[in-house]
A and B are shown apart, each in its own frame.
Chain A
Amino acid sequence: MTKKKGGVFTKFYIALILIFLYSPIAVMIITSFNKGKTVVWKGFSLKWYGELFKDKAILGALVNTLTIALLASFFATILGTMAAIGINNFRGKKRAVIQNVSNIPIISPDIVMGVSLMLLFAFLGNIFNFEMGYVTVLISHICFCVPFVVLNVIPRLRRMDQSIYDAALDLGCNQFQAFFKVVIHELMPGIISGFLMSFTYSLDDFIITHFTQGAKFQNLSTEIYAMLRRKIPPTINALSTLLFVTIIIIMIIINVRDRREEKRNSGR
Chain B
Amino acid sequence: MEKTAKKTVISLRDIFVRFDGEVILNHINLDIREKEFVTILGPSGCGKTTTLRIIGGFVSPDSGDVIFDGEKINDLPPNKRSVNTVFQKYSLFPHLNVFDNVAFGLKLKKVPKDEIKKKVTKMLATVDLKGYEKRSVQKLSGGQQQRVAIARALVCDPEVILLDEPLGALDLKLRKSMQLELKEIQRQTEKTFIYVTHDQEEALTMSDRVVVMNNGSIEQIGTPEDIYNEPVNAFVADFIGEANILNGIMIDDCRVRILGKELECVDKGFGTNTPVDVVIRPEDIQITSPEDGQLTGVVQSSIFKGVHYEMSVMCGKCEIIVQSTKSAEIGSTVGMRVIPFNIQIMNKLLPIQSNTIETTVTYADESAQYFEFELEGETITVKDKYIPKGKRVRVYLPFDALSITGAGDGDLKDVYIESVVYKGEHNEIILESDSRKWLMLSDTDEQVATYVPLYFDFSKASFEILDSAEEKEG
Contact with A along B42-82 (1 / 0, CB 8 A): 00000000000000111000000000000000000111000
Q: Residues of A contacting B138 with CB < 8 Å?
A: 268
User: A163 near B78 (CB under 8 angstroms)?
Assistant: no
User: A166 near B108 (CB under 8 angstroms)?
Assistant: no
User: A172 near B87 (CB under 8 angstroms)?
Assistant: no
User: A172 near B94 (CB under 8 angstroms)?
Assistant: no
Residue A40 at the chain B interface, CB threshold 8 Å: no
Which residues of chain A in 165-187 are interfacial with respect to chain B, using CB atoms and an 8 Å cutoff?
Answer: 166-174, 177, 181-182, 185-186
Which residues of chain B in 75-130 are interfacial with respect to chain A, using CB atoms and an 8 Å cutoff?
Answer: 77-79, 83-85, 87-89, 91-95, 104-105, 108-109
Could you list some 15 contacts between A and B, CB below 8 A?
A161-B89, A164-B94, A166-B56, A166-B87, A167-B87, A167-B91, A169-B77, A169-B79, A170-B84, A170-B153, A171-B152, A172-B105, A172-B108, A174-B77, A268-B138
Which residues of chain B in 208-227 are interfacial with respect to chain A, using CB atoms and an 8 Å cutoff?
Answer: none
User: B95 near A171 (CB under 8 angstroms)?
Assistant: no
Nearest CB of B to A185, in Å: 4
User: A163 near B109 (CB under 8 angstroms)?
Assistant: no
Nearest CB of B to A91, in Å: 9
Residue of B nearest to A166 (CB): B58
Complex Cα gap A170–B58 (Å): 9
For chain A, the count of residues having a C-beta within 8 Å of the partner chain is 18
Residue B156 at the chain A interface, CB threshold 8 Å: yes
Complex Cα gap A162–B78 (Å): 15
Which of A163, A171, A268 contacts B108, CB < 8 Å?
A: A171
Q: Residues of A contacting B85 with CB < 8 Å?
A: 166-167, 170
Which of A161, A171, A186 contacts B104, CB < 8 Å?
A: A171
Residue of B nearest to A164 (CB): B91
User: B95 near A186 (CB under 8 angstroms)?
Assistant: yes
Q: Residues of A contacting B78 with CB < 8 Å?
A: 166, 169-170
- For B57, B85, B87, B91, the residue with the greatest tally of chain A CB atoms inside 10 Å of its CB is B91
Contact A185-B95, Cβ < 8 Å, known A170-B56, A171-B84, A172-B156: yes
Residue of A nearest to B138 (CB): A268
For chain B, the count of residues having a C-beta within 8 Å of the partner chain is 25
User: A177 near B108 (CB under 8 angstroms)?
Assistant: yes
Contact A172-B95, Cβ < 8 Å, known A163-B88, A166-B87, A167-B85: no
Residue of B nearest to A167 (CB): B91
User: B58 near A171 (CB under 8 angstroms)?
Assistant: no
User: A170 near B88 (CB under 8 angstroms)?
Assistant: no
The 5 closest A-B pairs by CB, nearest first: A171-B105, A185-B95, A172-B108, A167-B91, A163-B91
- For A161, A170, A173, the residue with the greatest tally of chain B CB atoms inside 10 Å of its CB is A170
Q: Residues of B contacting A181 with CB < 8 Å?
A: 104
- In addition to A161-B91, A170-B84, 13 A-B residue pairs with Cβ atoms within 8 Å of each other are A163-B91, A166-B85, A166-B91, A167-B92, A168-B93, A170-B85, A170-B153, A172-B79, A172-B108, A173-B79, A174-B77, A181-B104, A182-B93
Nearest CB of B to A37, in Å: 55
Nearest CB of B to A234, in Å: 50
Complex Cα gap A45–B420 (Å): 86
Complex Cα gap A168–B152 (Å): 11
Residue of A nearest to B79 (CB): A172
Q: Residues of A contacting B108 with CB < 8 Å?
A: 171-173, 177
User: A171 near B156 (CB under 8 angstroms)?
Assistant: yes
Complex Cα gap A173–B80 (Å): 9
Complex Cα gap A225–B105 (Å): 58
Residue of A nearest to B84 (CB): A170
Q: Residues of A contacting B91 with CB < 8 Å?
A: 161, 163-164, 166-167
Complex Cα gap A167–B95 (Å): 14
Q: Residues of A contacting B105 with CB < 8 Å?
A: 171-172
Nearest CB of B to A171, in Å: 4
Q: Residues of A contacting B89 with CB < 8 Å?
A: 161, 163
User: B79 near A185 (CB under 8 angstroms)?
Assistant: no
Complex Cα gap A170–B161 (Å): 11
Residue of B nearest to A174 (CB): B79
Nearest CB of B to A190, in Å: 14
Nearest CB of B to A68, in Å: 32
User: B79 near A167 (CB under 8 angstroms)?
Assistant: no
Q: Residues of B contacting A174 with CB < 8 Å?
A: 77, 79
Q: Residues of B contacting A161 with CB < 8 Å?
A: 89, 91
Q: Residues of B contacting A186 with CB < 8 Å?
A: 94-95
Residue of B nearest to A177 (CB): B108
Complex Cα gap A169–B93 (Å): 12
Q: Residues of A contacting B152 with CB < 8 Å?
A: 171
Complex Cα gap A268–B138 (Å): 8
User: B87 near A163 (CB under 8 angstroms)?
Assistant: yes
Complex Cα gap A174–B81 (Å): 12
Nearest CB of B to A156, in Å: 12
Complex Cα gap A70–B344 (Å): 76
Nearest CB of B to A243, in Å: 35
Complex Cα gap A75–B57 (Å): 34
Nearest CB of B to A59, in Å: 41
Contact with B along A220-244 (1 / 0, CB 8 A): 0000000000000000000000000
Nearest CB of B to A89, in Å: 14
Contact A170-B93, Cβ < 8 Å, known A163-B87, A177-B108: no
Q: Residues of A contacting B153 with CB < 8 Å?
A: 170-171
- For A167, A177, A181, A268, the residue with the greatest tally of chain B CB atoms inside 10 Å of its CB is A167
